[in-house]
């Protein structure tokens, strides 16, 4: 089994063509967060409350290339809790940014694009992704298909505290753009914001790239919208109005009806009482509650308490 870290758009790390923006992979990103909770459990996710500190993965162009890469990899191995794994790092010319051979271990061979010799500060980002592959491989957690599996890898790296490095490697100026990983900058921002909301953390202070900061604020806005969807009481006026209309339809017709674009769906067990299901704003596991006004629910997967007005 193998894994490659592709740069955006093209085959070169620094000039990969136009960077994709927005939230095209949001469904897969959310499924990845749910899968992480299911596979790791609530307690293990909570054990990642502290992100990789910038000082631990700092890598200047004056540092020795191999010793420095080895040191940063070791920090990531420690952060992800893979104490017996050893990363052997080498550099070579290749089209991809990085590559890891997923074997039984305990030694794993990671190859980094030669280009990182001159861009050492981004080595931490590439390794955050590649070492996460090893973490997921050992958990035996994978999504079907390369694209979805890479999105899972980026999402897991970001949610478990090392992915801010990947977003910070996104830089654009008049002459060039560079981005690592498979999520768009805004999607990285989204996962980092979900994490920030969970742990009360502010990753914005770590960004050295102004574009990364902008993407983070967009991701944060999207993450906040997750918390403001009906039937959650935090939902806005327009959302609540539409919800009431959809609920009335379901009640009047004894038919859940179709509500395209709405995150919730109604159902009746035969002619039984109406219930509504919707994604948990934290872990995106679907939750079902009876339609009976104010309801407090607790997500069984991530334990978030949800105030609902059904």
Instruction: Tell me which residues touch Zn ion (CB under 5 A).
Output: 3, 5, 150, 153, 280, 282-283, 285, 299, 301-302, 304
In this complex, which beta carbon is closest to Zn ion, that of residue 5 or of residue 76? 5
Q: Which residues lie closer than 8 Å to 46 by C-beta, 6 or more apart?
A: none
In this complex, which beta carbon is closest to Zn ion, that of residue 301 or of residue 308? 301
In this complex, which beta carbon is closest to Zn ion, that of residue 153 or of residue 184? 153
Instruction: Return the ∠ at Cα 187 (arms to 164 and 176), rounded to 5°.
Output: 75
Residue 183 structure tokens: 């999520």
* Whether the Cβ atoms of residue 309 and residue 293 lie closer than 8 Å to each other: yes
Q: Which helix (H) or strand (E) holds 247?
A: helix 237-253
Residue 229: CB minimum distance to Zn ion, A? 13
Beta partners for residue 298, in sequence order = 305
Residue 87: CB minimum distance to Zn ion, A? 14
* Whether the Cβ atoms of residue 70 and residue 90 lie closer than 8 Å to each other: no
In this complex, which beta carbon is closest to Zn ion, that of residue 126 or of residue 250? 126
- Dihedral (CA of 145, 151, 155, 158) sign: positive
In this complex, which beta carbon is closest to Zn ion, that of residue 11 or of residue 304? 304
Residue 258: CB minimum distance to Zn ion, A? 25
Residue 74: CB minimum distance to Zn ion, A? 20
Helices and strands (H and E) in the chain: how many: 10, 11
In this complex, which beta carbon is closest to Zn ion, that of residue 88 or of residue 244? 88
Residue 9: CB minimum distance to Zn ion, A? 16
Could you give phi then psi for residue 268, rounded to 5 degrees?
-125, 135
CA dihedral 173, 175, 177, 178 (to 10 degrees): -110
Residue 137: CB minimum distance to Zn ion, A? 11
């Amino acid at each position: 089994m193998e894994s490659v870290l592709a740069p955006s758009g093209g085959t070169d790390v620094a000039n990969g063509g136009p960077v994709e923006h927005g939230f095209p992979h949001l469904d897969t990103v959310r499924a990845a967060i749910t899968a992480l909770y299911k596979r790791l459990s609530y307690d293990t996710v909570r054990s990642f409350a502290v992100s990789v500190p910038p000082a631990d993965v700092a890598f200047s162009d004056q540092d020795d290339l191999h010793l420095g890469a080895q040191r940063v990899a070791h920090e990531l191995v420690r952060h992800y809790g893979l104490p017996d794994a050893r990363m052997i790092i080498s550099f070579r010319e290749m089209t991809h940014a990085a590559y890891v051979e997923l074997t039984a271990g305990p030694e794993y061979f990671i190859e980094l694009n030669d280009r990182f010799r001159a861009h050492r500060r981004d080595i931490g980002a590439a390794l955050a992704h590649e070492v996460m592959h090893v973490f997921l491989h050992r958990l035996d957690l994978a999504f079907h298909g390369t694209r979805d599996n890479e999105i899972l890898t980026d999402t897991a790296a970001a949610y478990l505290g090392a992915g801010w490095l990947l977003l910070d490697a996104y830089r654009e100026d008049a002459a060039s753009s560079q981005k690592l990983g498979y999520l768009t900058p805004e999607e990285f921002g989204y996962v980092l914001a979900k994490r920030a909301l969970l742990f009360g953390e502010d990753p914005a202070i770590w960004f050295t790239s102004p574009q990364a900061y902008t993407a983070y604020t967009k991701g944060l806005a999207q993450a906040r919208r997750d918390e403001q969807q009906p039937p959650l009481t935090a939902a806005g006026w327009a959302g609540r109005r539409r919800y009431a209309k959809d609920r009335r339809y379901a009640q009047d017709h004894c038919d859940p009806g179709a509500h395209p674009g709405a995150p919730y769906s109604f159902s009746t067990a035969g002619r039984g009482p109406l219930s509504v299901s919707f994604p948990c704003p934290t872990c995106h596991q679907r939750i079902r509650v009876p339609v009976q006004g104010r309801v407090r629910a607790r997500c069984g997967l991530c334990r978030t308490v949800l105030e609902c007005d059904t």
